[in-house]
């Protein structure tokens, strides 16, 4: 391979590597349908599970962000969204999500409103204890990692018998049992001797894992990883990642932070972007350095891409601090741009 210190391309985000929604008419955001991963990809769910202010009707995915728009902002107010996994929502979350990052799902907030048997056990107001065996059907199939069971006395026999493969532990000095695992189910079986008066159910979106669901999965074909450990279950890691949790890079992005330039700058004469919870036309700078800032968000409305204005023979280039041996070049285009333009 040859050593180079200049790379030229026309649009998008640059990464240079160096060796080192079923029937959807019933889809209801208030009833947990939008955190049921088998439903949210359906056509009509896409209309109701993704927030878009009226001013943004011509702009898709204003509440989505990250590489391939894998993640969704669940802040109570869209104006709080900073479109980063580690950003906090200063005014709290949408119902059914846990502060401060608003990625961790609180399924009990949806199940408590169902008319199914024992759904009231998921309400914080409930005082009526039910003796196991307790079988609770759900409206949807949920992907969850933690079940918290609150009982009227300490019970070492309390456990989840379905879904399978959940490990239950009695919390010391408390009438509380915590069961953990990586499961999908549309019902819950609880066995024990004590009466159960409250249940909490938590889980992560498919592409995230960890205590607060703020660690990114890097599994092959964008598959989900284990919600607790982060391990990939199928064909290993996506290209460019390795390790038990696929959290180690096989490359160094030598373009990031380097000096860049382009023939012109799109947006300085005005373009529609997402700002303070709405879409409005603003004079912004989609400057060349946005292609090498490490932000993979492809949404032009989030002001995260570099772009030239329309014109003849546009180009973008990066100047390296020294010659490098390059083994791979990746260009991530902004949403809505077709290959024929690049």
Residues 33-55 pLDDT 10s: 889 877 766 666 777 788 888 88
Half-sphere exposure of 56 (CA within 13 A, CB side): 22
Same domain? For 268 and 289 the reply is yes
Same domain? For 114 and 101 the reply is no
pLDDT of 1 higher than 60: no
pLDDT band at 312 (very low <50, low <70, confident <90, very high): confident
Same domain? For 59 and 143 the reply is no
Please give the C-alpha separations between residue 171 and each of 184, 185, 188, in angstroms, as whole numbers: 24, 24, 20
Same domain? For 101 and 114 the reply is no
Flag whether 259 is in a domain.
Answer: yes
Same domain? For 60 and 142 the reply is no
DSSP code of residue 334: P
Same domain? For 86 and 132 the reply is no
pLDDT band at 23 (very low <50, low <70, confident <90, very high): very low
Which residues does 342 contact at the CB level (< 8 Å), separation at least 6?
9, 10, 11, 12, 331, 333
Last residue within a domain, chosen from 202, 219, 235: 202
Flag whether 214 is in a domain.
Answer: no
Q: Which of 138, 142, 178 is nearest to 159 (CA)?
A: 178
pLDDT for the residue numbered 228: 96
Once rounded to an integer, what is the mean pLDDT over residues 75-95?
93
Q: Is-contact 129 195, C-beta < 8 A?
A: yes
Summary mean pLDDT of the chain? 86
pLDDT for the residue numbered 296: 85
Q: What one-character-per-residue DSSP string does 61-121 give?
A: TTTEESGGG-EE--BSSGGG---STT---TT-B-TTB-TTTS-SEETHHHHTTS-STTGGG
189 vs 297, more confident: 189
Flag whether 143 is in a domain.
Answer: yes
Once rounded to an integer, what is the mean pLDDT over residues 112-129?
90
Q: What angle do CA 21, 23, 27 make, to 5 degrees?
A: 65
206 vs 177, more confident: 177
Q: Provide the whole-model pTM.
A: 0.85
- Phi-psi region for residue 292, left (φ > 0), alpha (ψ -120 to 50) or beta? alpha
Largest CA-CA distance found in the chain, in angstroms, rounded: 76
The total of structural domains in the chain comes to 3
Last residue within a domain, chosen from 56, 89, 105: 105
Same domain? For 74 and 36 the reply is yes
pLDDT of 67 higher than 60: yes
pLDDT for the residue numbered 342: 34
Flag whether 209 is in a domain.
Answer: no
- Tell me if the bond preceding 58 is cis, omega within 30° of 0: no
Q: Which of 223, 179, 222, 219 is nearest to 203 (CA)?
A: 179
Percent above pLDDT 70 for the chain:
88
Same domain? For 135 and 63 the reply is no
Judge residue 56's burial from the number of C-beta atoms within 10 Å of its C-beta, 0-12 exposed, 13-18 middle, 19 or more buried. buried
Flag whether 62 is in a domain.
Answer: yes
pLDDT for the residue numbered 38: 72
Same domain? For 312 and 288 the reply is yes
Same domain? For 148 and 170 the reply is yes
- Phi-psi region for residue 221, left (φ > 0), alpha (ψ -120 to 50) or beta? left
Please give the C-alpha separations between residue 315 and each of 255, 307, 336, in angstroms, as whole numbers: 16, 9, 19
H or E element, residue 162: strand 159-162
Radius of gyration of the chain (CA): 24
Last residue within a domain, chosen from 52, 87, 105: 105
Same domain? For 117 and 176 the reply is yes
DSSP code of residue 286: B
pLDDT of 7 higher than 60: no
Of the given ranges (114-118, 197-201, 243-247), which has the lowest mean pLDDT? 114-118
Same domain? For 275 and 330 the reply is yes
Expressed as residue numbers, the domain containing 272 is 252-341
pLDDT for the residue numbered 17: 53
pLDDT of 57 higher than 80: no
């Amino acid at each position: 391979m040859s050593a180079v210190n200049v790379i030229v391309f026309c649009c998008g985000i640059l990464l240079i590597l160096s060796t080192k929604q079923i029937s959807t008419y019933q889809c209801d955001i208030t009833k947990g349908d939008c955190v049921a991963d088998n439903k949210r990809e359906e056509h009509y769910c896409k209309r109701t599970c993704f927030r878009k202010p009226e001013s943004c009707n011509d702009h898709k995915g204003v509440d989505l962000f990250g590489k391939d728009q894998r993640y969704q902002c669940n802040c109570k107010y869209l104006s709080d969204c900073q479109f980063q996994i580690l950003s906090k929502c200063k005014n709290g979350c949408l119902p059914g999500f846990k502060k401060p990052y608003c990625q961790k799902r609180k399924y009990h907030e949806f199940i408590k409103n169902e008319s199914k048997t024992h759904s009231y056990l998921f309400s914080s107001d409930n005082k009526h204890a039910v003796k196991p065996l307790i079988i609770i059907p759900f409206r949807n199939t949920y992907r969850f990692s933690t079940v918290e069971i609150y009982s009227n006395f300490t019970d070492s026999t309390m456990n989840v018998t379905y879904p399978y493969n959940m490990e239950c532990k009695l919390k010391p000095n408390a009438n509380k049992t915590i069961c953990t695992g990586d499961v999908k189910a549309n019902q819950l079986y609880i066995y024990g001797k004590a009466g159960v008066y409250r249940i909490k159910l938590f889980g992560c979106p498919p592409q995230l894992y960890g205590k607060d669901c703020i660690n990114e999965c890097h599994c092959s074909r964008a598959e989900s990883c284990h919600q607790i450990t982060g391990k990939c279950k199928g064909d290993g890691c996506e290209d460019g990642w390795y390790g038990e949790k696929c959290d180690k890079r096989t490359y160094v992005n030598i373009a990031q932070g380097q000096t860049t330039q382009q023939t012109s700058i799109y947006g300085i004469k005005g373009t529609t972007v997402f700002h303070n919870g709405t879409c409005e036309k603003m004079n912004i700078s989609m400057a060349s350095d946005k292609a090498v800032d490490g932000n993979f968000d492809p949404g032009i409305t989030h002001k995260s891409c570099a772009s030239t204005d329309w014109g003849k023979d546009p180009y973008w280039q990066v100047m390296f601090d020294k010659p490098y041996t390059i083994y791979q070049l990746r260009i991530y285009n902004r949403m809505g741009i077709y290959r024929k333009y690049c």
